[in-house]
Structure 1
Amino acid sequence: MAEILSVIEHDSLPVIAERVNAQRALGIHHARLLEKLSSTLPAGAFSWGHQSVCFAQFCGVIQLDELTLEILPKIHGKEAQPESCRSALIQMLQTARLICTHKGALAGINTQRMSLLDIFIQHFCQDLHAQIIQGKLRSYVEQEENLAVIRGCLAIPQHIRHNVVHKERVYCRFDEFSEDILLNQILRFTLRLLMPWTRSSKTRKQLSELLMHFDGIRDVPITLRSFNSLASDRINQRFQPVLEQCRLFIAAIKPDVLAGSTPLFSLLFDMNRLFEAWVAEKLKPWAHQQGWHLRTQGPRRYLAIREGDSPQFQLIPDIAFVDDNEVPQLIADTKWKLLNENDRKLGVSNSDIYQLYAYAGRYEVPHLQLIYPAQAGLLSHYGFRLQGMHEPELAIKTIAIDNSRELNWSLH
């Protein structure tokens, strides 16, 4: 019987010999499947303990035969509410544009009751339906056929090879306006691929109805390499968010992990990267108000140059706010960690402060920020001033994950 088991990141599940339905544990069978899947998961996604498994900061879904594992983010104060953690993850993915959906896509999707996987699939179905309403794509496809009358141009080598005896035939090469193009083949493949994985009758019905729009499309094997052959043009542009979801789903299916015919599924997101992307999107309006431009993963500079050699020790800030001349005015690093209100340092690691100090010296930036998820008992801002160099201001900031409104942000 299909079952969903939710676990919060950094929590452990015991591994037991025989597991019964609804038991908060992994059976030996599921543990073996997880071990076989491990080589395809992000490094450090989980670790084995004594008859237990502990999940790291990679959140999402892992399908192990009939058991669906949901690894959910640790939202402070809501650890006992998996539905709230699930909703927060979906909102973060949407805000960070890792799940690109049309406006209002969350409407009608019950994030409180549905599994993560079904939520992902329903997002995809709604986005694809919105594009189909605007019209499916067609394009000219090159065809070769032995015809009674000439069409297009004569393919001379093939004509000679095929029509030595049949003089009444002409082997032609021509372009035909068709729906049977690579983009539609990817969409059909993805719809068929997802059908066995949904646990919701509503989602299965949506997939079936969408498949009917692709009845005239051939079933062809699609891999991640297939996306490299897609033309990047204006015609395909409106399908890009849907295609990115297709890419995610196709990468998530693991057909070669097991020797048998049962594939496994995993779709995980690194919460460190997700939090960084989410914060960047939340801060873009504030950056615009300051007259600045927000840059992620840069600008990149080096701390040292080895004599007679190339630059070394590259600095890559998570987020930088630059003026019109690309001069950094504020550098921020995001940390998906919990602070400690009882610690004089707030639980901030020395290495994080040293990293900010390096930014201060190399970029000569007047303002620095470390941004953490909010938690009970902590203020939204703690001010420091770094010593030496230009004595830049350092702000330790906290930000509420469930804040759907525009941020009230400041330098201080």
Structure 2
Amino acid sequence: MFNAGRKHIIVFEHQKLLFDPVNEDEINLLNSLIAYHGDYSPFYKLIRNGVQFCEYVGVLQIGETLIEVLPKADKAVDEETKSKWQGLLINMIRTVWGFSVKDSGSSDLKLKHNSVLDLYFELYISELESLLHAGLIKKYTCEQRNAKALKGKLLFTKHIQANVVHRERFFIESTKYSIDHELHQILYTALKLISKLNRNNLLTSRIGNLLLNFPEQKSIKVVASTFSKIVYNRKSIVYQRAMEIAELLLLNYHPDLSKGRRNVLALMFDMNALWEQFVLRILQKQLLSHKVSGQISKQFWKSQGMSSSMRPDIVLVDRLSNEVIVLDTKWKNLNGYSPSPDDLRQMYVYHEYFNAKRVALIYPGNGESLGGQFYHKNQKELDDKHCHVVQISANKDFKKWKDKIVECVKESLSLEIK
């Protein structure tokens, strides 16, 4: 149960959120969650008088209410744990997306007190401020209009249709070199959306300044194909980061289209995929002795018109010896139990198909790591194939947590520290 007077609700993944069936505000919020669940990909499942969240983390803004879903890797669910995972989640997303991670004390916002939604708003605002400071680019655009002078290409068919009576006019197509083009139209649309959804007072003035200084653009309808058709050149490549955030915001915003519902913005991330990409990025930056690659596929099975491949999360190749090590990340807490048989079988196959010297499973956990060997096929003795289990405990200090991940991987796999 939660206090309906609060506008910011914090829960953990897989946690249940229950609503008072006699409280009108809570029932309205539940009805909005039910409607969103029916129309779009669900990040939660419906239960009696509430919802239960899945393995997705992030934020759902429904009308005036912000629901923040945090990773669940600790047994405790107190306020200190919530504060820790708010900061860690924000920095994990920053790392995966390639944004520089600033110390929260020197940032314009104290991000540890804000949600993922504030993070993306701040990043987008910073990108637009940078673009404005450098100067917006101009592009050639084609414009069709009825004009009083023949300046451009005469569109004869449309001219006849539009100017049967007005013979003094010409329906023409002309080329205009200006800042009024699709890139700016998309960015301006996303900026107006942020101004509508923002509830952070520290961002309000910056949004207002951008609305004053960014040239007003015509309204356009933005869909997935709008972004897929964009081609960047030498001048426009600086827009790519801002466009990525605009795409995330605009395509995940679902306006209220029927009476009784509320606008919904969902920025949710599969925690398994986020954990995999997070570990991959850290090892790529810090494990310089190895070439670190993600998602390398090998063919595994084929039939008529069908095939199947295997794809481990992370592959390490020693730059000197070319020895291969395969890692698979799993976002679940073992809680003292051994890995599942399915996980171990998967690692055994990686051993065979990638000719790996060692393999390892990477979990969040209590910091304990252990080595293990597979049995030989004859069941009488242990094989020379090893599978390590690495459990990495979270640290509120993000830099220490990153260093701990690299240290645990090196120690467990006996890698030479370089």
Task: Supply the distance in 2 between the matched residues of 1:391 and 1:397 (Cα, whole angstroms).
Answer: 19
Assess, with a 3 A threshold, how the Cα gap between structure 1 residues 373 and 160 changes in structure 2: closer, same or farther.
same
Q: Residues 261 and 396 from structure 1, CA distance in 2 versus in 1: closer, same or farther, beyond 3 angstroms?
A: closer
Partners in 2 of 1:385 and 1:148 — Cα distance?
A: 84
More displaced 10-residue stretch of structure 1: 384-393 or 186-195: 384-393
* Conserved? CA contact 1:255–1:261, under 8 Å: no
Offset of 1:282 from its aligned partner?
0.7
Q: Does residue 397 of the first structure (1) align with residue 402 of the second (2)?
A: no
- 2:141: which partner in 1? 141
Distance 1:213 1:311, change over 3 A: same
Q: Encode CA deviations 1:118-174: one digit per residue, 9 max, x unaligned.
A: 232122111221222112122011123444554344444445555667666554432
1:387 maps to 375
Partner Cα distance (1:133, 1:289) in 2: 40
Alpha-carbon distance change, 150 to 78 in structure 1, aligned in 2, over 3 angstroms: farther
2:293: which partner in 1?
Answer: 295
Q: 1:41 Cα shift?
A: 5.1
**1:75-95, CA deviations, whole angstroms, 9 ceiling, x for partnerless residues?**
437632222211111100011
* CA–CA distance in structure 2, aligned partners of residues 70 and 155 of structure 1: 54
Provide the aligned C-alpha RMSD in A.
3.0
The match for 2:315 is: 320
Counterpart of 1:333 in structure 2 is 328
Q: Which residue of 1 aligns with 2:380?
A: none
Which blocks of at least 5 consecutive residues in structure 2 are unaligned? 378-382
CA separation of 1:54/1:147 partners in 2, compared to 1, >3 Å: closer, same or farther?
closer
2:392 alignment partner AA: I
Instruction: Name the CA distance, whole Å, in 2 between partners of 1:18 and 1:186.
Output: 43
Residue in structure 2 matching 1:47, options 28, 38, 45: 45
Which SS does the other structure have where 1:32 is aligned? helix
1:4 equivalent to 2:14? Answer: no
Q: 2:271 — aligned with what?
A: 271
Aligned to 1:231: 231
State the Cα distance separating 1:102 from its structure 2 match.
Answer: 5.5
Counterpart-to-counterpart distance in 2, 1:283 and 1:219: 43
AA in 1 matched with 2:324: Q
* CA displacement, residues 180-222 of structure 1 (integer Å, 9 cap, x when unaligned): 1111111111111122222122323222221223333112232
The answer as to whether partners of 1:370 and 1:397 remain within 8 angstroms in 2 is: yes
Q: CA separation in 2, counterparts of 1:39 and 1:297?
A: 32
What residue in structure 2 maps to residue 13 of structure 1?
A: 17
CA deviation profile, 1:227-283 (whole Å, cap 9, x unmatched): 233223233211111111111111221125644573222211110010001010011
After TM superposition, the structure 1 stretch with the greater mean CA deviation from structure 2, 158-167 or 268-277, is 158-167
Which residue does the alignment assign to 2:26? 27
Q: Which residue identity lines up with residue 360 of structure 1 in the other structure?
A: H
CA contact (8 A) 2:73 2:332 kept: no
Q: Mean Cα displacement is larger for which, 313-322 or 83-92?
A: 313-322
Q: Please, what TM-score do these two structures have when normalized by structure 1?
A: 0.84
Residue deviations 1:289-317 (CA, integer Å, cap 9, x gap): 22x2x222222321x344xx356442121
**AA in 2 matched with 1:373:** P
The structure-2 alpha-carbon separation of the partners of 1:323 and 1:232, relative to structure 1 and needing over 3 Å to count, comes to farther
In the alignment, structure 1 segments of 5+ residues that lack a partner are 21-25
| Alignment partners' CA distance in 2, 1:256 and 1:368 | 49
- Tell me if structure 2 keeps the 8 A contact 1:300–1:315: yes
Query: Aligned pair 1:365/2:353, yes or no?
Result: no
Structure 1 residue 364: deviation in Å?
Answer: 2.1
**CA-to-aligned-CA distance 1:333-365 (integer Å, 9 cap, x gap):** 101011223x4x2xx111100111111122222
1:329 deviates by 0.8
Q: Identify the match of residue 352 of structure 1 among 333, 336, 343.
A: 343
d(CA) in 1 for partners of 2:103, 2:183:
22
Matched residues, number: 391
Structure 1 residues 62 and 168, CA gap change in structure 2 (3 angstroms)? closer
Report the 3-state secondary structure (helix = DSSP H, G, I; strand = E; otherwise coil) of the residue aligned with 1:391. Answer: strand
Residues 39 and 233 of structure 1, relative CA distance in 2, 3 Å threshold: farther
Q: TM-score scaled to structure 2, two decimals?
A: 0.83
Note the C-alpha offset of 1:367.
1.4
Matched residues in 2 for 1:275 and 1:145: separation? Answer: 52
- Equivalent residues of 1:105, 1:126 under 8 A apart: no
Is the alpha carbon distance of 1:287 and 1:135 closer, same or farther for their aligned partners in structure 2, counting shifts above 3 Å?
same
